[in-house]
């Protein structure tokens, strides 16, 4: 695979990025596709591993390691190195329905488990993946695949995020008539309304939606299941229903002053920003950071996207709070390869903020305790205390211990809560009568069937908040089970089968 001495001859090269000073003036993508020659050099670094952990998705230390789609990474790395791009595309599409999405927004757990990463920087797998699919579209190799024959079976997919789209794509390819129900005015779910344009421009999403429509999938937009159409109607009109609504119910902060105006969930803020960018909604001054002191509570990708968005809207100042410790700059002994590397990184928004404000805007080991408001009911500030992460007395779990005399008040005109999601919105659960546990639909992985006959669930709605690669994994696997339910057997591949 690749060049036998490639990992010794070539260093890791990153995709070029637009200058932070220029890119914060617009909402266009900040990264560029790597040139062919650079992708080939990175492909040359891929080793002839006897066990390529990059290709096998698993859970280690509570984080995803390797690729849950079982992408044939060493194979298409080798083909890119040799300049056989069309073959590389064929291998990539065997396991991944939407490389143009994962190549842009997946956190690339495959790279953390790359064998080269044991003692060096990993192969730039994500950049190579994006280069392959981009060339596929540029060369006209990506064309509609209209099924030659249709079955008499009809399937309704609720939700048009990556899980719903992947399932719809698979089921359509075996000839079922698929209708995707989406409550928003555009398809794509969080790909469209939750991820800022800087990471994924919406014409990329729409290009794939158009392709799926040409292949025969029907999209029913502006249709909320449980309101605009009832579960009983779907169950009567379709032979199977697959729920892929995601887990968009956010975790709240029930603290004193939470009811003040100016405190919003991060996803509401990001969705409004995307709609403003697309011209779907006028600028909402209450959900816009212009000339405001912004505080983002939460240290994940959603919080980083809020930082980048607030910068582009012209925030006066931005701070981001994390309850956790700052990650070390190198792997620690207990964070051994091939586990996901828990190391410090400077995300695109943080890099931009550091350029603009002259320092890292993140605050670590800090907890919000209360919000304070103005006389008109708007937020004025928030009060925090420092907290140390320690083992409890029984040493069974970590707890946070307050640091004495560490209280601090922070000026804030806009507070964005980005501490995660707790599950599926209740309207869908109640309307279908499906059982749930801990906020997500009860459906065993590998079977995906709910307690209601003919109703299945996949993606974050079943799994809980997770990665885009897991959403596509679940959509593909659920499609296999739905097809088997309808036909008695299935010709669809299961995850990992393409490598056999």
**Per-residue pLDDT tens digits for 107-161:** 999 999 999 999 999 999 999 999 999 999 999 999 999 999 999 999 999 999 9
Ranking 67-81, 305-319, 360-374, 392-406 by mean pLDDT, the lowest is 392-406
Statement: residue 496 has pLDDT above 90 = no
What pLDDT sits at residue 393? 63
For β-strands 398-402 and 421-423, DSSP reports them as unpaired
What pLDDT sits at residue 405? 84
What pLDDT sits at residue 427? 82
Q: What is the DSSP letter of 413?
A: S
- Report the C-alpha dihedral over residues 179, 182, 185, 186, rounded to 10 degrees: -70
Q: How confident is the model at residue 498 (pLDDT cuts 50, 70, 90)?
A: very low
How many residues appear in the chain? 500
Is there a contact between 208 and 98 (Cβ–Cβ < 8 Å)? yes
- Return the exposure string of 209-236: e unless at least 16 CB atoms fall within 10 Å of the residue's CB, then b: bebbeebbbebbeebebbeebebeebbe
41 backbone dihedrals φ, ψ, rounded to 5°: -65, -40
Q: How confident is the model at residue 391 (pLDDT cuts 50, 70, 90)?
A: low
What pLDDT sits at residue 395? 57
Q: Residues of the chain with pLDDT > 90: what percent?
A: 84
The pTM of this model reads 0.94
For β-strands 177-181 and 218-220, DSSP reports them as parallel
Tokens encoding 256: 């004193």
Tokens encoding 394: 């029984």
Tokens encoding 430: 């109640």
Is there a contact between 361 and 318 (Cβ–Cβ < 8 Å)? yes
| Mean pLDDT across 12-28 | 95
Statement: residue 67 has pLDDT above 70 = yes
| Mean pLDDT across 340-368 | 93
pLDDT digits (tens, 9 = 90+) for 322-338: 988 888 888 988 889 99
Domains of the chain: 6-138 (1.10.1060.10), 154-248+422-499 (3.50.50.60), 252-419 (3.50.50.60)
| Mean pLDDT across 367-387 | 96
DSSP 56-82: --EEETTEEES-TT---HHHHHHHHHT
What pLDDT sits at residue 397? 67
372: left (phi over 0), alpha (psi -120 to 50) or beta: beta
Tokens encoding 462: 């079943």
pLDDT digits (tens, 9 = 90+) for 249-272: 999 999 999 999 999 999 999 999
C-alpha dist (Å) from residue 18 to 47, 122, 222, 241, 498: 31, 23, 36, 43, 37
For 470, what's the count of Cα atoms within 13 Å in the CB-facing half-sphere? 21
Paired with 378 in beta bridges are 261
| Mean pLDDT across 11-31 | 95
Statement: residue 394 has pLDDT above 80 = no
**Residue 443 and residue 463: Cα distance in Å, rounded?**
9
Q: What is the overall mean pLDDT for the chain?
A: 94
**Residue 143 and residue 358: Cα distance in Å, rounded?**
47
Which secondary structure element, helix H or strand E, spans residue 399, and what is its range? strand 398-402
Is there a contact between 32 and 104 (Cβ–Cβ < 8 Å)? no
Q: What is the DSSP letter of 107?
A: -
What pLDDT sits at residue 499? 41
Q: Output the CA torsion sign for 342, 347, 351, 356.
A: negative
Q: How confident is the model at residue 494 (pLDDT cuts 50, 70, 90)?
A: confident
Q: How confident is the model at residue 500 (pLDDT cuts 50, 70, 90)?
A: very low
Instruction: Count the neighbouring beta carbons within 10 Å of the beta carbon of residue 150.
Output: 12
What pLDDT sits at residue 15? 95
């Amino acid at each position: 695979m690749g060049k036998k001495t490639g990992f010794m001859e070539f260093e890791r090269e990153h995709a070029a990025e637009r200058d932070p000073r220029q890119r914060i003036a617009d909402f266009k993508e900040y990264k560029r596709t790597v040139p062919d020659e650079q992708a080939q050099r990175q492909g040359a670094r891929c080793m002839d591993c006897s066990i390529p952990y990059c290709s096998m998705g698993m859970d280690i230390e509570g984080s995803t390691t390797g690729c849950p789609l079982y992408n044939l990474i060493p194979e298409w790395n080798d083909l890119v190195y040799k300049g056989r791009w069309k073959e590389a595309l064929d291998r990539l599409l065997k396991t991944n329905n939407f490389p143009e999405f994962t190549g842009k927004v997946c956190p690339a757990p495959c790279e953390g488990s790359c064998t080269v990463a044991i003692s060096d920087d990993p192969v730039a797998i994500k950049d190579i993946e994006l280069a392959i699919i981009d060339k596929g579209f540029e060369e006209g190799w990506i064309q509609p695949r209209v099924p030659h024959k249709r079955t008499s079976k009809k399937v309704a997919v609720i939700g048009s995020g990556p899980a719903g789209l992947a399932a719809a794509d698979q089921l359509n390819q075996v000839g079922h008539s698929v209708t995707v129900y989406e409550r928003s005015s555009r398809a794509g779910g969080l790909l469209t309304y939750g991820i800022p344009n800087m990471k994924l421009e919406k014409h990329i999403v729409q290009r794939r939606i158009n392709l799926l429509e040409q292949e025969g999938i029907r999209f029913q937009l502006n249709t909320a299941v449980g309101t605009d159409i009832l579960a009983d109607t779907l169950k009567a009109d379709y032979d199977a229903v697959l729920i892929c609504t995601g887990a968009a119910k956010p975790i709240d902060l029930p603290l004193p002053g939470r009811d003040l105006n100016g405190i919003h969930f991060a996803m509401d803020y990001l969705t409004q920003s995307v709609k403003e960018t697309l011209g779907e909604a006028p600028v909402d001054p209450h959900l816009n950071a212009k000339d405001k002191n912004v505080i983002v509570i939460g240290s994940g990708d959603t919080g980083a996207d809020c930082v980048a968005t607030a910068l582009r809207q012209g925030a006066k100042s931005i701070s981001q709070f994390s309850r956790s410790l700052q990650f070390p700059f190198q792997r620690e002994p207990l964070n051994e390869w091939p586990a996901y590397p828990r190391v410090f990184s400077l995300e695109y928004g943080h890099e931009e903020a550091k350029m603009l404000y002259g320092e890292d805007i993140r605050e670590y080991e800090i907890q919000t305790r209360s919000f304070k408001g103005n006389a008109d009911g708007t937020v004025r500030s928030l009060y925090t205390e420092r907290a140390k992460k320690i083992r409890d007395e029984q040493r069974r779990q970590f707890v946070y211990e307050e640091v004495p005399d560490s209280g601090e008040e922070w000026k804030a005109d806009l507070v964005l809560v980005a501490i995660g999601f707790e599950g599926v919105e209740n309207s869908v659960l109640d309307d279908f009568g499906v059982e749930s546990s801990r906020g997500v639909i009860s459906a065993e992985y590998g079977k995906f069937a709910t307690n209601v006959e003919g109703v299945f669930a996949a993606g974050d709605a079943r799994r809980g908040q997770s990665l885009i690669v897991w959403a596509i994994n679940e959509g593909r696997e659920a499609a296999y089970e739905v097809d088997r339910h309808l036909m008695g057997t299935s010709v669809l591949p299961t995850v990992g089968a393409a490598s056999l």
